[in-house]
Structure 1
Amino acid sequence: MSSDVSHKKRKRFKRGKQRKSKEESTDGRRDGHKSYSDIVKDNKDYELYYKTQDIISESEWQTFMSCLREPLPSAFRLTSYCKSQTIALRNIIESDEFNGSVGDKSDTMNGLTCIDWYPNRFAWNINISRVEIRKSQSFRILQNFLISETDSGYISRQEAVSMIPALLMDIKPGHRVLDMCAAPGSKTAQIIEMLHSEDGSSDGAVVANDVDNKRCYMLVHQSKRLHSCSTLITNHDAGGMPNFYDTVDGQRVVLKFDRILCDVPCTGDGTIRKNYDVWIKWNVANGNNFHGIQLRIAKRGLEMLKKDGILVYSTCSLNPIEDEAVIASLLNLSEGGAQLEDVSTVLPNLKYKKGLEKWKVMTREMVCIESVDEVQEKYKSQIRESLFSPKNAKELNLNRCLRVLPHLQNTGGFFVAVIRKTVDSLPWESSAQTPAPNESTEVSKPEDTQKGDTYRQKKKRKIYGYKEDPFIFLDNTDSDWIKIKDYYGINDSFPFEQLVHRCSVGKKRNIYFLTDAAKRVVVNNQKDIKLINGGVRLFSRSDDKVNPCGYRLTQEGLPSLFPYLNKEHVVEIEAKDAKQLLSSDNMALDLFTGSERLKELNSGCCVLVIKRDAQQTNGFPLTLPICCWKGKTSMRAYIAKNERIHFLRLCGADVTETDAVRSTERERHKVKNEANNEVLDENQPIKTETIESQT
């Protein structure tokens, strides 16, 4: 052990010496890289390329280029998985009191404005960059508000244009949705929200996939923020994703998804306003290279889509080689099996340019090539026939694609195409992809798997390196479930068969809940698919003498469990009592209005409900269940600090000071982590201390 540590120290010391030997940049950096302030926002090849493509008219060109050199405005949206809370939060944002505390009163250009093309006034824009918001004292209240509500899951800080794809997917409750390249997860979060009903309950399933194992855990964070019981995180190469299976009438069949998002890897030149490196690194060859990867992913996505399902293809690139060329190739390969949808009326206030029917293909040296016959030998591996404009471009309706240009509405650049599949099977698909009718449906039981299948399973496990714990579902004879059900008085109608744990050895630490659709995905695919995470935590082990069932409730699981709870464990309290409870570690029972009802509760975990009528919330009634722990003489809210702030805000409390304290804590954690060579992501929540089991 000691030799390993000393070896690591020697390596780290060596790297430090190497850094010091590099030429310092003008801001004193020793890593040889330029700071953003040193980057000259100019790239002649970039300008020549897009002038040649004729995407922007001559009269707009200077406006377009000037916009690219301006910092990207900040944007955020209100998450809508619980609509009543979303509307209450929107009312706070729209209040004169809140707007009066945001920014410099003399600067009317940088105020908070609603994004008019986003439905229900749930998305907002502020005309300064995120960096400027962090640095400006006049925006400190807004910054603290955004951080605390983002940590709680009620706000997502997301670039405005990246909100578009999910809005065009026409997702309905009950749909099975695949996000093929999901990390970091902002679009996935939107998809999850669309499956939720008004009370926060959910049906359907979202499979969020990413090729990078570490980035998959960013998706886990997104799912946890939204308290989602419908989400499964998988770790596969999107272009070579294995088939998913379902069981229908006792037969194992290939599962096809209702909706698929292909937000593919790209050059990202549409992000040039926030990623200044694009000015330095952009070249034509990058787009040509990405084209093949993008087409492979889109093609696999179309295979996994059901008939009459919708696939949305998107990039943050303006390059037609990564955009229209991919779509045209995909449609032609499908031979009429897929078509572009007209979505021009879905977002009426969104400004965009229609897709191109002709575009230019260039070499790295900026030489135009008119056809694949002109491609020199040295470029043949990079420039293929699928890059060129097809002769039938007009028949493909490529003008139905959307290209969002930054200068049109002061955003980033983006491309979206909405495709509907019109056939069951595509021309290139083989019948071998459909399993034989007599294949076993009990895919979760290894003893029922055929020998050939067992060999393939072992081989796949070796390739992918499966290390995740298995999903083990409970039944009504499980001793822990019987105790939990009896103690909390959970209704018989609760779907206990959707409860799952992941401890193959020893006691269960946590019990999770999945929607029926998500459970079916797990049961039928657990051995073939690398599942990282799934479901929402409903119960957490609490080895405490006070709690005879051995498990406490969790705040994130309440939206799924609350409708089934016995009222003996649920007590309604007034907003004024809730403010005091959430503002302190413990609150004496005698201080509650109507404390007798609370005193009747057994010690242990319980649920207090805050109800606010429409008059109190400016037009929309609120029901806010919070998880608590009752001691002998006091009560404690059993929720994280950031979520306390959210509930206090909805109860009408002034949380300015609390937000400021929380921000200070965050900065302290950030400094500490940076000292340990770790970078704390802006959206990453601070670890809060574990709440004591007794008050």
Structure 2
Amino acid sequence: MAGQGRFYQKEAPFNSRKKSQSRSNAKQKRVVSRSDIVDRRKRARDHIKAREQANANRLHGEEVRAKRQKLCKEVAEKIVWRKFDRKNEAFENFYKQVMQTMYPNCDNFDKVWATFVKCIERSICVHFRFNLNHADLAEKALYLLESEIIPEYINNESNRQKGSEDLSGTEAAIQIAPLEWTSHNKHSLWKVSVDAKTFRKKESLMNIYNFVYENTKFGLIIRHDPTINILPELLSIQSSDRILDLCGGGGENGIRAPVIAERFSSPDSTGVLVVNETSIASGTVAIRNLSRTLTCSANVIVTTHRILDYPQMESMNDGFDRVLCMVPCSGDGLIRNCPEKWRTWTALKGVENHSKQIKLLTKALSLVKVGGTVLYCTRSMNPIENEAVVTAVLDNGLCEVELVDIHSIIDEKFPAFLKHPGVESWAVFGEEMQTLSSCEKLNEKDKTKFSSTMWPKPKRNLDRCVRVLPHENDTHAFFFAALTKCTAEAIPTVSAAPTAEKADKRPSDRHKQSSTGNHFTPLKRQNWKNLVQCYGLKSNNQDSFLQKRQSIQNGQYSVHLVSEQAIKILTSRHVGKLAVQRAGVEAFHLTPSISRVEITDVGAQALAPALSKQIIPLPIAIVEQLLDTKEVWNHQLPALTLEHVESLQDGSFVAVIETPCDQDEDSIGFITCVKYQNGISMAASPDLNYNRSRLLFLLSRYRNSQGSK
């Protein structure tokens, strides 16, 4: 017992320690839980403060934007390159020889050269074009410009001249008028006889500048070089053609694509335009620009490929009818807008681009079908980037190619437009402006920089090419050459990746690659039934829609309205996968698991005539209240409007902005809203702010037009 007692005496302290330890652990847990509660409350307070700060930032967004604009303005004034001398002896010597071949029998060449140099030392004048893809709105904007904006400017200038004795002749000479050489759609292309900086800062032009700025922001006006206006004619575009803009250009495609797409504006048109960008970032920029200028175009596709890796179609009959190949170049034809080229230009700038330009033009010819045309275009005046590239492709023997005479097209469509034929001979200069007679006489170092294709070849009919000089039409410098593919022999694909070889080795991969790019697939029948059930689509053409998976986790799809020709391109078999970033009009967002269908703002504009459900008229006053507060309660709605709203199902619907009954006007536009139990609100979207601003702009214009009446 004594031993047992000693045993229990030893155990008793251990048990007591265990109990005390458990009590201390419980206390620590309670303390930890209390600290967690304190931390949660602190995080909640911080979150509320951050949210309040974010709301304050939104409320003061205009002040932030104003400060940002002021900072940008100050930085722009400090840019140095605007102030250096526009002189480059090598540039002048090089192009003086080129222009002497363009003016062979000119008695006063020195005067022509002086005019040319004086022109390229000045910035180009402002040109803008009314976007005929929005024909009704552009026509109203044109009427406003001609009937109010310009007469007001002329009246103010005449009053200012009467009250000012020190008016200079330069200020009095500012003209705003349509370009004379644009016989087709004469009043669509306009010129202001000042450069962009003066146009932006001159007080007397502020009303015209604001008019152009606002209409450009919403896609009714396009600012571009007027020479872009002749591209559709040089391509000889028909309403059923497949057209590829191969070399992209990011923001440039917001300019070129609308001009080309005007040929597809008629209801009977079946053509399609494919815009290729070289990266996803530039593709995003192009889509943002096209969303303004080509809002409801079901026949526009945006792809993202490196130019030399653009996938070939397996069938030659599925090729493109026209390919625009505006290749990267030295860009010395843009020297009026890029004056830094005065100090950076060297004779080797064109040499560096020559071999790549040959590959790009060869690639363009491989994508066009037999009988199709490739328009090769640069913004360079260098023959090594222009005529030498065309000569190299004509002589490479990969297939028979004919150089088309496009002078007759310009003479017929734009008789007042001044141009020159391509040059037949030119000199090749070295790094130190020494003349190089031939490729065979070069040293080993120079042979790595120059190739035999840079020297002129006789009898290549290069006079069929077109050169545009800056001083003759007040434009940038351009070079155009149209080549028609005459034979069915396949041109080997110029590509950096052996896609075709891999496809031959692995048939399963070939099947994957030839599927529709970026998961665009035909619309499932059940999804089509959901669209018809929700919105009462009158169209029976289910094949006009494609679906694209947006979220694997939630099973969400975007439904795109796409033209028949565009669907053929998307579903054709390619050697390699076609990377599609945009196809047609993104009309619906669909979640099949909960049978939810939401229509987009663009889808509402494109499909409004085909909707029989979830579409109601809204008075202008209610729309303005929606745009201001983003929601309207049921008790704030007029009786008739409330009756229309109550007839809708909860969820997304389309509101037609109705004009007063006594006015003979079309609807101003459409707005996508959401119906709740107690009211309606604007539908949230990534483009909500832009759509809101656009509707406010259209409503203000409508109010002004009614006030003038």
Match of 2:48 in 1: none
How far is 1:327 from its partner?
1.9
Q: Report whether the alignment pairs 1:453 with 2:527.
A: no
In the superposition, relative to structure 1, how do residues 622 and 159 fare at CA in structure 2: closer, same or farther (>3 Å)?
A: farther
In the superposition, relative to structure 1, how do residues 414 and 287 fare at CA in structure 2: closer, same or farther (>3 Å)?
A: same
Which amino acid counterpart does residue 548 of structure 2 have in structure 1?
A: H
Match of 2:572 in 1: 524
Match of 2:125 in 1: 73
Pick aligned residue for 2:562 from 508, 514, 525: 514
How far is 1:51 from its partner?
0.7
Match of 1:312 in 2: 375
In the superposition, relative to structure 1, how do residues 154 and 508 fare at CA in structure 2: closer, same or farther (>3 Å)?
A: farther
Please give the alpha-carbon distance, in whole angstroms, between the structure 1 residues aligned to 2:129 and 2:178: 10
Pick aligned residue for 1:116 from 155, 180, 190: 180
In the superposition, relative to structure 1, how do residues 85 and 424 fare at CA in structure 2: closer, same or farther (>3 Å)?
A: farther
Please give the alpha-carbon distance, in whole angstroms, between the structure 1 residues aligned to 2:544 and 2:667: 30
In the superposition, relative to structure 1, how do residues 149 and 605 fare at CA in structure 2: closer, same or farther (>3 Å)?
A: farther
Q: Report whether the alignment pairs 1:301 with 2:350.
A: no
| Cα deviation digits, residues 287-326 of structure 1 (max 9, x gap) | 1121211111111111211122221111111112111222
How far is 1:147 from its partner?
3.6
| Cα deviation digits, residues 41-95 of structure 1 (max 9, x gap) | 0011110001111246433111111111112222222222232232222222222
Match of 1:488 in 2: 535
Greater relative contact order, per chain length (Cα 8 Å cut-off, separation 6+): 1
Which amino acid counterpart does residue 243 of structure 2 have in structure 1?
A: V
Please give the alpha-carbon distance, in whole angstroms, between the structure 1 residues aligned to 2:190 and 2:467: 21
Q: Report whether the alignment pairs 1:260 with 2:323.
A: yes
How far is 1:263 from its partner?
0.3
Pick aligned residue for 1:219 from 281, 286, 289: 286
Please give the alpha-carbon distance, in whole angstroms, between the structure 2 residues aligned to 1:131 and 1:253: 49
Where 2:133 maps in the other structure, the secondary structure is coil
In the superposition, relative to structure 1, how do residues 583 and 147 fare at CA in structure 2: closer, same or farther (>3 Å)?
A: farther
Pick aligned residue for 1:400 from 464, 484, 489: 464
Gaps of 5+ in 1: 1-26, 246-251, 431-438, 440-448, 657-695
Please give the alpha-carbon distance, in whole angstroms, between the structure 2 residues aligned to 1:102 and 1:471: 54
Match of 1:62 in 2: 114
Match of 2:197 in 1: 131
Please give the alpha-carbon distance, in whole angstroms, between the structure 1 residues aligned to 2:173 and 2:118: 18
How far is 1:101 from its partner?
5.2
Pick aligned residue for 2:140 from 67, 88, 94: 88
Contact residue 534 and residue 597 of structure 2 kept, 8 A? no
In the superposition, relative to structure 1, how do residues 193 and 28 fare at CA in structure 2: closer, same or farther (>3 Å)?
A: closer
Please give the alpha-carbon distance, in whole angstroms, between the structure 2 residues aligned to 1:270 and 1:655: 46
Please give the alpha-carbon distance, in whole angstroms, between the structure 2 residues aligned to 1:209 and 1:333: 26
How far is 1:611 from its partner?
7.5
In the superposition, relative to structure 1, how do residues 483 and 392 fare at CA in structure 2: closer, same or farther (>3 Å)?
A: same
Q: Report whether the alignment pairs 1:554 with 2:605.
A: no
Contact residue 509 and residue 541 of structure 1 kept, 8 A? yes
Match of 2:589 in 1: 540
Q: Report whether the alignment pairs 1:230 with 2:276.
A: no
Match of 2:220 in 1: 154
Match of 1:271 in 2: 334
Match of 2:343 in 1: 280
Match of 2:81 in 1: 36
In the superposition, relative to structure 1, how do residues 611 and 402 fare at CA in structure 2: closer, same or farther (>3 Å)?
A: farther
Match of 2:44 in 1: none
Please give the alpha-carbon distance, in whole angstroms, between the structure 2 residues aligned to 1:282 and 1:170: 35
In the superposition, relative to structure 1, how do residues 176 and 504 fare at CA in structure 2: closer, same or farther (>3 Å)?
A: farther
TM-score by length of 2: 0.72
How far is 1:574 from its partner?
7.2
Match of 1:209 in 2: 276
Contact residue 310 and residue 418 of structure 1 kept, 8 A? yes
Deviates more, 1:626-635 or 1:224-233: 626-635
Aligned length: 586
Where 1:358 maps in the other structure, the secondary structure is coil
Match of 2:698 in 1: 647
Where 2:110 maps in the other structure, the secondary structure is coil
How far is 1:644 from its partner?
0.9
Contact residue 283 and residue 364 of structure 1 kept, 8 A? yes
Contact residue 239 and residue 271 of structure 2 kept, 8 A? yes
Which amino acid counterpart does residue 121 of structure 2 have in structure 1?
A: R
Contact residue 358 and residue 393 of structure 2 kept, 8 A? yes
Where 1:339 maps in the other structure, the secondary structure is strand
How far is 1:575 from its partner?
7.1
Please give the alpha-carbon distance, in whole angstroms, between the structure 2 residues aligned to 1:410 and 1:44: 23
How far is 1:286 from its partner?
0.8
Please give the alpha-carbon distance, in whole angstroms, between the structure 1 residues aligned to 2:663 and 2:239: 30
How far is 1:366 from its partner?
1.4
Match of 1:690 in 2: none
Deviates more, 1:597-606 or 1:517-526: 597-606
In the superposition, relative to structure 1, how do residues 310 and 42 fare at CA in structure 2: closer, same or farther (>3 Å)?
A: same
In the superposition, relative to structure 1, how do residues 451 and 270 fare at CA in structure 2: closer, same or farther (>3 Å)?
A: closer
Please give the alpha-carbon distance, in whole angstroms, between the structure 1 residues aligned to 2:637 and 2:154: 36
Pick aligned residue for 1:325 from 388, 401, 426: 388
Contact residue 247 and residue 307 of structure 2 kept, 8 A? yes
Deviates more, 1:304-313 or 1:647-656: 647-656
How far is 1:353 from its partner?
2.0
Where 1:172 maps in the other structure, the secondary structure is coil
| Cα deviation digits, residues 121-169 of structure 1 (max 9, x gap) | 2222223333333334444444443343333232222232344324422
Match of 1:661 in 2: none
TM-score by length of 1: 0.74
Where 2:358 maps in the other structure, the secondary structure is helix
Contact residue 177 and residue 257 of structure 1 kept, 8 A? yes
Match of 1:182 in 2: 248
How far is 1:197 from its partner?
2.5
Please give the alpha-carbon distance, in whole angstroms, between the structure 2 residues aligned to 1:273 and 1:103: 32
How far is 1:116 from its partner?
3.3
| Cα deviation digits, residues 93-113 of structure 1 (max 9, x gap) | 222345525997364433432
| Cα deviation digits, residues 187-234 of structure 1 (max 9, x gap) | 5423562354246x9743322223234222222223322223323222
How far is 1:487 from its partner?
1.6
Which structure: greater helix fraction? 2
Contact residue 518 and residue 578 of structure 2 kept, 8 A? no
Q: Report whether the alignment pairs 1:351 with 2:418.
A: yes
Pick aligned residue for 1:363 from 408, 430, 440: 430
Which amino acid counterpart does residue 367 of structure 1 have in structure 2?
A: Q
Residue identity (%):
23
1:428-443 mapped onto 2 (5 Å cutoff)? 429=492
Contact residue 582 and residue 648 of structure 1 kept, 8 A? no
Q: Report whether the alignment pairs 1:244 with 2:296.
A: no
Gaps of 5+ in 2: 1-72, 104-108, 161-170, 494-499
Where 1:37 maps in the other structure, the secondary structure is coil
Contact residue 82 and residue 196 of structure 1 kept, 8 A? no
Please give the alpha-carbon distance, in whole angstroms, between the structure 2 residues aligned to 1:114 and 1:404: 20
| Cα deviation digits, residues 272-295 of structure 1 (max 9, x gap) | 111111101111111112121111
In the superposition, relative to structure 1, how do residues 456 and 569 fare at CA in structure 2: closer, same or farther (>3 Å)?
A: closer
Where 1:317 maps in the other structure, the secondary structure is coil
